[in-house]
Amino acid sequence: MVSRSESRASVAASERSTIRTVAMAVGVVFLLVGILGFIPGITTDYGDMRFAGHDSGAHLLGVFQVSILHNIVHLLFGIAGIAMARRVDTARLFLIGGGAIYLVLFLYGLVIGHGSDANFVPVNTADNWLHLVLGLGMIALGLIFAPRARPVAGGLGR
């Protein structure tokens, strides 16, 4: 028979494992997106890719404007997610903090002119909407899968 404290410990361990797994999965997706951005065919108009700037004509999956810098950012974000998935606190930080970064990128994409020099990453309308979804999704994952605080044994409410 499993005691209540053993059951709670099992649930807590499962929650810790889940947020780490989610952060790892998100990191792997970013890493894959960064790699795919350098593969001709998956990235259309590959020959028109520039290091940075709004004049990069390459599009990941024919939709999302990319540059070498944009792909490198995805690779670095993926590596960060994989590294931060090792611990519960850093996995949560990656999901919530990374989501906040993507919400800032969404706002940035709305404010700048897509043809301006300020669009150095570069981003287009499809990128803007993707950044919104990523930001909200990552924050939601970080909040949903964060381990819950447990009442201390022997505390109030017994």
Could you tell me how far CA 25 lies from the centroid of its own chain?
9
pLDDT of residue 7: 52
Provide the 8-state DSSP code for 115.
T
pLDDT of residue 97: 98
Residue 5, classed as helix, strand or coil, is helix
What tens digit of pLDDT does each residue of 55-74 get?
999 999 999 999 999 999 99
> 153: which residues sit within 8 A by CB, 6+ positions away?
5
pLDDT of residue 125: 94
**Beta partners for residue 121, in sequence order:** none
Average pLDDT over residues 15-37: 95
153 vs 29, higher pLDDT: 29
Alpha carbon distance 61, 44 (integer Å): 7
Confidence grade of residue 35 (pLDDT, cut at 50, 70, 90): very high
Residue type, 83: A
Q: What are phi and psi of 110, to 5 degrees?
A: -75, -35
Provide the 8-state DSSP code for 28.
H
Alpha carbon distance 132, 101 (integer Å): 10
pLDDT of residue 119: 87
| pTM for the model | 0.83
In the sheet that 58-60 helps form, which strands lie side by side, from edge to edge?
A: 43-44, 58-60, 64-66
Alpha carbon distance 33, 31 (integer Å): 5
Alpha carbon distance 118, 103 (integer Å): 17
Provide the 8-state DSSP code for 68.
H
What tens digit of pLDDT does each residue of 8-22 get?
555 556 667 899 999
pLDDT of residue 148: 81
Whether the per-residue pLDDT at 42 is higher than 70: the answer is: yes
pLDDT of residue 152: 56
What tens digit of pLDDT does each residue of 76-112 get?
999 999 999 999 999 999 999 999 999 999 999 999 9
pLDDT of residue 32: 98
**Beta partners for residue 64, in sequence order:** 60
